[in-house]
Amino acid sequence: MAYSDFTLDELLEKFDLAIEDIPGLFTGIEAKEANAYLRQTLEQNLDLAIAINTEKARSEMIIAPILLEVRRRDAQHLSLFSGVEFNSHLAPVHKYLIRSIKAINSNTETVTSYHCCLLPVACCLPSQVSFQLSARSKFNVDRAQGLNGICDFILSQSPEQLLIRSPVVTIVEAKNENLKSGFAQCIAAMVGAQIFNARKQNPIQTIYGVVTIGTIWRFIQLQDKKVQIDLKEYYIDNLDQILGILYFFAEPQELRIEN
């Protein structure tokens, strides 16, 4: 069993969760203006991604640039991972970049368009940025409980470049443009992140989840055994509002409490 195999009913029973639907749960969070680079990137990519209309195109051309901007805004506290395994020893970022550059220069066909799309962005990030790409490896927390498998993206509250230390946001790209189909997988990954943090004694009280198809975003939070799902759909036209929510999710929670 894996994250993607769970149904909501199975999650409720197995992990003793309670789910609450709340209209506009995160609408009160302050919007954050997107920078010119992100706006230009999405202006160039959005129509093309919609025209291609594959999960891969939406992930590379819409979702990843937005998450990279979130990462860039808080490089001292945040790392971004894609398709990773919590317990694996990941190769250093610079080694990956060197291999990718060599492959591109050699015109090899083994480099995916995903790598080609994000490589220029990753190379322009500050040296302290903890950005790691991995070729569809797995995110395994507790295989016995079914908390294993692919997680599309993870935001971690740590500048650590090699390992996930404090996962706080799990992001799932919904299949077949059906946002509801991604809820169970996302919540399962959130439970996995919660268990991971408890084992590491990380001071993270709330785990956040995102289910998206790029053009539409849905948001979830997990506190103890309580799952709250925002019933509002957030459209890419309201990019600043989406960014504001993502920044809020990613900020250090201990600082939020102090303020």
Instruction: Say if residue 89's pLDDT is above 70.
Output: no
DSSP 197-215: HHHHT----EEEEEEE-SS
DSSP 22-90: ETTTTTTSPP-PPPHHHHHHHHHHHHHHHHH--HHHHIIIIIHHHHHHHHHHTTTT-EEEES--TTS-P
Percent of the chain with pLDDT over 90: 60
* pLDDT band per the 50, 70, 90 thresholds, residue 139: low
Mean pLDDT across 90-101 = 42
Kind and range of the H or E element at 167? strand 167-173
Residue 259 lies in a domain: no
Residue 143 lies in a domain: yes
Instruction: Say if residue 178's pLDDT is above 70.
Output: yes
Helix axes 183-200, 8-15, angle to 10 degrees: 30
Report which of residues 33 and 81 the model is more confident about.
Answer: 33
Output the pLDDT for position 186: 96
Closest by alpha carbon to 150, among 1, 3, 8? 3
Structural domain containing residue 209: 3-254
Output the pLDDT for position 248: 96
Output the pLDDT for position 161: 64
Output the pLDDT for position 259: 44
Task: Tell me the residue type at 102.
Answer: K
Output the pLDDT for position 257: 55
Instruction: Say if residue 229's pLDDT is above 80.
Output: yes
Mean pLDDT across 163-189 = 92
Where on the phi/psi map is residue 224: left (φ > 0), alpha (ψ -120 to 50), or beta?
Answer: left
Tell me whether residue 181 is exposed, middle or buried, using C-beta atoms within 10 angstroms of its C-beta: 0 to 12, 13 to 18, 19 or more.
Answer: middle
Residue 227 lies in a domain: yes
At 116, list the tokens. 């080609």
CA neighbours within 13 Å on the CB side: how many for 57?
A: 14
E strands, 111-166, are 130-133, 153-156
Residue 155 lies in a domain: yes
Residue 80 lies in a domain: yes
Output the pLDDT for position 252: 86
- Number of domains into which the chain is organized: 1
Residue 185 lies in a domain: yes
